[in-house]
Each structure stands twice: as C-alpha cells, then as structure tokens.
C-alpha cells in the first residue's frame, strides 16, 4: 500500500464498526494516525484501534455522543491533543429511523437532525480551526439524498440531502484556506446493521444496476482518495458510490 497519507492525523466519527471501521483501517494502511469516536460498544472500538495500531500507526478511541455538541467538540480537541493536530476529518456517524410519517416521533426527528447534520457542522467547525492548507473534510452521506424508493425514509433522506447543501456552502468558507470538503454517498453496504442476506436486501438490490451490496472497503477506498493529494482540486462535491441505485 502506498503511504500517501503518512503522518497525517485523522478523526473518524462513528468509527468503531461497519463503514467507519473500514475507513479507519484504510487510512491507517495509508500511513495516517487515526482517532475514532464511538457512542457504545467499547469492545468493538478497541478492536478497531488495535487493528489500526497493528499497521504501525497511532490510534485511539474516544467515547462521544454525536447528538451532544460539547462531546463532538471534545472529540476533536482530544484528537488534536493526542495526535498533535488534525489533517483529515471524516464525519461518518449517522442514524436512520425508518417510520411512516404519521408515526414518526418528533424526538426521533430531532435526534436524526442532531446526529446526521448538526454534528457534521459542529465537528467541521471545530476541526477547521486546527487545519492547515491541504486539510480534508469528508462526510459520509447517502444515495438516499437523491432517491428514497420506499415509505418511511423521509427524515433520513432529508438529513442526508442537507449535507449536499452544507458542503457546497462550506466549500466557499474553507476554500480560501486550502481546505476541501466533500460528501461520499454510499448505496446499500453490507454491514452488521444492514446485512446483504435479508429479504429487505433482496428488494433493494432489485433496484440497482449492479445487483449486489457494496462493501465497507469499497467506500473506504473512495474516502482515502478524497483524503489524498490526487483529490486536491475536488471540493463541494457529492460523490455517489451506490452500484447504480440512483442510475
């Protein structure tokens, strides 16, 4: 593996499992020191940290609820303190509550917005204070920002669509400082929360050009490219990796 990110310092929110863990490991393979935040399951967080450390980089886990702005800021500040700075922020954490409109509690609406949108803004603002030219902010959005083909997903789709506008605006704020910000918009990805062997998965893959779920490693490869030097002229973009879900 080419160490294109050697000695860069990264924070991956929600990085203990699934797509987040794949991103942590990929950044570590490319030479970046990595912090990850998690809200529960410290054993999974520690396992991901140890996998990154085995690749010869510094790694640490930070417990933080992304619905709490103070915890989000604290995770950035601890990353800076323990890794000596921050060059890459991956806003990966997200939640999805799928319910019909008439049954959707406002508490779930508020938490979805807090985790999927507000936390991205709060973390980006906190990290940008410490970033130099060449800094990278990468959000994990969703192809559901462009297509929601079943009922009950309106609030989730809204929260991910909000990131599209957010990166367009923040690209203007951060561009003069040489910092880029982009979205990665995955389609269905095989994780423990969304396995590829269910009846729901069969329905979803029937809507896709490539009739299969993606992998966390495939998403992580796009994130690593955006974090690297080749993507220095890409900003304000939403890059879809969805097997043709939105084709």
Strands 33-38 and 59-63, bridge-based pairing: parallel
Q: Give the integer Cα–Cα distance in Å for 167 and 181.
A: 6
Tokens of 179: 């910092």
Give 189's DSSP letter.
B
Is the Cβ–Cβ distance between 14 and 94 less than 8 Å?
A: yes
Q: Give the integer Cα–Cα distance in Å for 126 and 123.
A: 5
Q: Beta-strand (E) ranges in 13-67?
A: 33-38, 59-63
Sign of CA dihedral 185, 187, 190, 195: positive
Nearest to 89 by CA among 226, 196, 203: 226
Burial class (CB within 10 angstroms; exposed 0-12, middle 13-18, buried 19+) of 50: exposed
Of 38, 104, 156, 213, which one is the catalytic site residue? 156
Q: Give the integer Cα–Cα distance in Å for 86 and 32.
A: 10
Give 115's DSSP letter.
I
Q: Respond yes or no: is residue 156 known to be catalytic.
A: yes
Catalytic residues: 156
């Amino acid at each position: 593996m080419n160490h294109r990110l050697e000695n860069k310092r990264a924070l991956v929110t929600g990085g203990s499992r699934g797509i987040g863990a794949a991103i942590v490991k990929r950044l570590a393979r490319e030479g970046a020191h990595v912090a990850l935040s998690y809200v529960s399951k410290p054993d999974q967080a520690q396992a991901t940290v140890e996998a990154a450390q085995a690749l010869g980089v510094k790694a640490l886990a930070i417990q933080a609820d992304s619905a709490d702005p103070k915890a989000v800021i604290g995770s950035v500040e601890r990353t800076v303190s323990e890794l000596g700075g921050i060059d890459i922020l991956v806003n990966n954490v997200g939640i999805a509550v799928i319910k019909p409109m008439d049954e959707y509690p406002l508490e779930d609406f508020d938490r979805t917005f807090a985790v999927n949108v507000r936390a991205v803004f709060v973390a980006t603002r906190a990290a940008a204070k410490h970033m130099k030219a060449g800094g990278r902010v990468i959000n994990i959005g969703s192809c559901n920002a462009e297509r929601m083909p079943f009922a009950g997903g309106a609030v989730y789709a809204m929260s991910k669509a909000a990131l599209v506008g957010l990166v367009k605006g923040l690209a203007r704020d951060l561009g003069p400082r040489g910092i880029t910000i982009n979205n990665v918009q995955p389609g269905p990805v095989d994780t423990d929360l969304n396995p590829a062997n269910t009846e729901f998965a069969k329905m979803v893959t029937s809507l896709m050009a490539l009739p299969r779920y993606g992998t966390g490693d495939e998403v992580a490869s796009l994130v690593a490219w955006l974090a690297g030097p080749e993507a220095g002229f890409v900003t304000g973009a939403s890059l879809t990796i969805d097997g043709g879900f939105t084709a």
